[in-house]
Amino acid sequence: MKDAVFNLGRTPLVVEALRTGDLALLGQVMEDRLHQASRLKLIPGGRVAWVAALQAGAAAVAISGSGPSLIAFVGLATDAARVARAMADAFGGMGVVARPLGLSVSAAGAGVVA
């Protein structure tokens, strides 16, 4: 129950960090007590890639969806390609082939492509 309350208490802070672009806040509130630690153990090289992303300048890292993908958030002043390479190299060092994708944010929101 304590862990669920901890996670739920961070939800509005994650939304606010994304809404305002406050990556320092995002980095502080991405900690999770319910699933990331156990799921990260199931991603070969995941912990090493996570640390590599932070060391390369990522503001925050998380498991993307249910995994095995990781997502790293970077600011405009950070070389996103450098972070992606660091993560891919870390995975590679653990024998895992990774395909880094550099994605940008859309102000338009979700849409349907016909």
pLDDT tens-place string over residues 10-22: 899 999 998 898 9
Task: Supply the pTM of this predicted model.
Answer: 0.83
Pick the CATH number of 2-93 from 3.30.70.260, 3.30.390.10, 3.30.450.20, 3.30.70.890: 3.30.70.890
Distance, in Å, from the CA atom of 79 to the CA atom of 70, rounded to the nearest integer, reads: 17
- Please determine, for residue 110, whether its predicted confidence score (pLDDT) is greater than 90: no
Distance, in Å, from the CA atom of 98 to the CA atom of 14, rounded to the nearest integer, reads: 27
